[in-house]
Structure 1
């Protein structure tokens, strides 16, 4: 498996990016327009937040799915019995956000969402006509009009050595949404499952932007764009003593968008949240 590293500014970037998603479910962009300095500041500030006690004042809401998810209520990946070794905070423009973290989070949310819409346009334009015909509406318009997309600030705490055998920072899973936009984390660990059954490290030099197809795009494209299984493995040695932080934006359609004859975006999301044990 070869995940393409694509220069955002290159003339053939849209075609190469869409082809990488088709072939692997993943694509990596360099020279993209998102601010690396803003990403690094968000990493620093939110790591401090996770190290403090204020996070407990923002306990997540089952109804709205915003706020803080502790390690005790973290996700259990579909098909797995053990919870992931992580804690996270769900950021929505309409949701609860710590006051001193709000401006940077919402600035990044807006910039990343705008880029994501452009990337959906790339995918739309380079999808074969017979597959496009299956879309209930153009891909970029599926996310317009409402703030359904989710910015998740993720912290994988240092490993203590007493973790349950087999527990991973993030067990193998597919994402629920259309696309996931992910600046490279502050530490490696992300792997994707190849068609040959082998796990492959995803290129993740600091400053790269990693994008993957989610289950909703796979559903809408009738499998043309695969939602590839991926995971975050546990580090060893000195790396195990450090937190890992990442900042995925999960691009979600409006609730009423029809993905397929069997699902709207809302029905698909509710089904998966119940499977993850957070709904």
Structure 2
């Protein structure tokens, strides 16, 4: 399985990026416009947040789905019976964010969302006409005025050795949204399942971005761009004592967007959140 590592500044970047998404559901970008110093600073500051008991003051709102999600309410991947070994915080521009963290994380949110919109434009431009005719509206228009795009600050705690059998940091799953933008985490562990049904590490050096197709783009493109199964495996040896932080931005369309004859973005999202046990 060959996930292409594409130079964002290259004249043919859009072509190779879309080709990688078509073939694998994933692509890696280098020389992109998101500052690595900003990402590293976010990891440091949110590591401190997750280490502080005051994080529970920011416990999530079940209706709004913003705020802090502790490990005991973490997601259970579809088809998996054990909760993932993680905690996380949902960042929305309209949501609750600690004042000391707001400026930096919202700066990143705006930058990452802008990049995601650009990449969605690349995908739209590289979609064959026979596939693009199935789009109910241009991909770029689907995210206009959307308040659903989610930035998730993920913390995978060190392993204590007494974890429930079969519990992993993130069990095999697909993303729900249109497109996911993911900076290189501070620790390895991300794997993708190839067409050979084998698991492959996603190579992503510090300062690079992993981009993957979500179920909503797969639905809108009638499967032309595949939403590929991926997971985060548990570390081994000395690495078990390390935290892992990750910062995925999930680009979402407006709730009223028609993805296909059978789904709007809203109906699709609610169906999947119920399957995950968080709604």
What band does the TM-score fall into relative to the shorter chain? over 0.9
Report what 1:76 is aligned to.
Answer: 76
Report what 1:232 is aligned to.
Answer: 232
SS of structure 1 residue aligned to 2:90: strand
Report what 1:142 is aligned to.
Answer: 142
TM alignment of 1:1-279, pairs within 5 A? 1-279=1-279
2-structure distance, mates of 1:79, 1:136: 30
Q: Name which of structure 1's ranges 138-147 and 61-70 shifts more when overlaid on structure 2.
A: 138-147
2-structure distance, mates of 1:250, 1:199: 23
* 1:244-264 deviation line (CA, Å, top 9, x unaligned): 000000000000000000100
2-structure distance, mates of 1:5, 1:203: 9
SS of structure 2 residue aligned to 1:254: coil
TM-score by length of 1: 0.99
2-structure distance, mates of 1:85, 1:106: 26
The Cα of 1:23 is off from its aligned counterpart by: 0.1
The Cα of 1:146 is off from its aligned counterpart by: 2.5
* 1:170-211 deviation line (CA, Å, top 9, x unaligned): 000000000000000001000000000100000121111000
2-structure distance, mates of 1:185, 1:140: 28
2-structure distance, mates of 1:249, 1:198: 26
The Cα of 1:147 is off from its aligned counterpart by: 2.1
Contact 2:146 2:252 in 1 (8 A): no
TM-score by length of 2: 0.99
* 1:57-110 deviation line (CA, Å, top 9, x unaligned): 111111011000000000000010000000000000000001100011110000
SS of structure 1 residue aligned to 2:218: helix
Residue ranges of structure 1 left out of the alignment (5+ in a row): none
2-structure distance, mates of 1:208, 1:146: 26
The Cα of 1:238 is off from its aligned counterpart by: 1.1
Residue ranges of structure 2 left out of the alignment (5+ in a row): none
2-structure distance, mates of 1:168, 1:251: 25
1-structure distance, mates of 2:198, 2:46: 33
The Cα of 1:166 is off from its aligned counterpart by: 1.3
Q: Name which of structure 1's ranges 140-149 and 34-43 shifts more when overlaid on structure 2.
A: 140-149
